Amino acid sequence: MSIPDLGAEGQRRKMVGLFTVAGVFSALGAVLLPFVAPALRRHALPYIPTTKSQVDAIVKLCRGRPGPFLDLGSGDGRIVIEVAKQLGIPSHGIELNPWLVFFSKLRAALSGPDVFKQTSFKMAELDERILSKASPTARIISCEFKLPGREPTQQIQTDGSRTLWVFDVDANHPHLADANNNNNNIDKANDPRVDAM
């Protein structure tokens, strides 16, 4: 059995097809890489979209609380945007993945000018510096992941197996805990660790 001669036109079609397939796979890889790359970091936290029931539970937990809302690991921004829509308070998202930050900003812009003005998204590392600047009345709500070294003040099951972890900073703040153990009063007005975000 011999291989038929494709001629010049057949060779050109074969090369165009090969380059088309290579281009499609390269584009797919470029789009997926930003979502896979966080798994290669030292502290790998994958992108797990928040469910509607989790968003509703978070909005309910934030209702009536003073101050702005901060979502650490904000992903696609759905929680930040929904809090801004329903509660009308300034809402901020912190995310490692630059593609998700871009997507969050785009979603906020498409949600209307009022929501866009109430929201902001930026890239930053989640570390002790961010937590140490939270005011003692701050509430941290985590979807799926417990904060290392901190005890939750509340745990809520949503969607059967999905968990929200609630951390009230005043219950976990090391400075406040030490002061309470020593029965000392804290002068919050002069405490440099009680800065607003």
Confidence at residue 105, expressed as pLDDT on a 0 to 100 scale:
93
Q: How far apart are CA 58 and CA 163, in angstroms?
A: 11
pLDDT single digits (tens) 153-197? 888 888 777 888 888 877 655 544 443 333 333 343 433 333 333
The DSSP bridge pattern shows strands 154-158 and 162-168 to be: antiparallel
Confidence at residue 68, expressed as pLDDT on a 0 to 100 scale:
85
Mean pLDDT of the chain: 74
Confidence at residue 109, expressed as pLDDT on a 0 to 100 scale:
93
C-beta atoms surrounding 74 within 10 Å: 25
